[in-house]
């Protein structure tokens, strides 16, 4: 995985943390918004979120996902911390 992919995943995780509602009962709630659903699904494909579909898409941060959030902030210190590699291999088409 190159540095651009790492930064993109980190940015996506930070956007999910900032813009997707999270509650104790259901976790991350896409609110049936297409952009939020795609973001949760993309991070789930890497293993950073456990995705649950129940009428709409929900998810919970995995340990790797929480590590990705930690790696992503503050952005200026990313080179000082090891990147949390995805727990799942993603098949490229």
Q: What is the pLDDT of residue 91?
A: 62
* Residue-range domain boundaries for the chain: 3-80
Do residues 64 and 89 make contact, with C-beta atoms less than 8 angstroms apart? no
pLDDT band at 92 (very low <50, low <70, confident <90, very high): low
pLDDT band at 25 (very low <50, low <70, confident <90, very high): confident
31-89 pLDDT tens trace: 999 999 999 999 999 999 999 998 899 999 999 999 999 999 887 777 788 999 999 87
Q: Which CATH number fits domain 3-80: 1.10.10, 3.20.20, 3.40.1350, 3.40.50?
A: 1.10.10
Query: CA end-to-end span of the chain, whole Å?
Result: 16
Tokens standing for residue 55: 């009428």
* pLDDT greater than 60 at residue 93: no
């Amino acid at each position: 995985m190159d540095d651009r992919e790492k930064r993109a995943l980190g940015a996506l995780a930070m956007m999910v943390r900032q813009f997707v509602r999270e509650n104790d009962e259901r976790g991350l709630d896409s609110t049936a918004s297409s952009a939020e659903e795609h973001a949760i699904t993309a991070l789930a494909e890497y293993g950073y979120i456990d995705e649950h579909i129940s009428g709409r898409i929900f998810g919970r941060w995995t340990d790797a996902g929480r590590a990705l959030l930690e790696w992503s902030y503050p952005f200026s210190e990313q080179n000082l911390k090891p990147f949390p590699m995805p727990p799942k291999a993603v098949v490229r088409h």
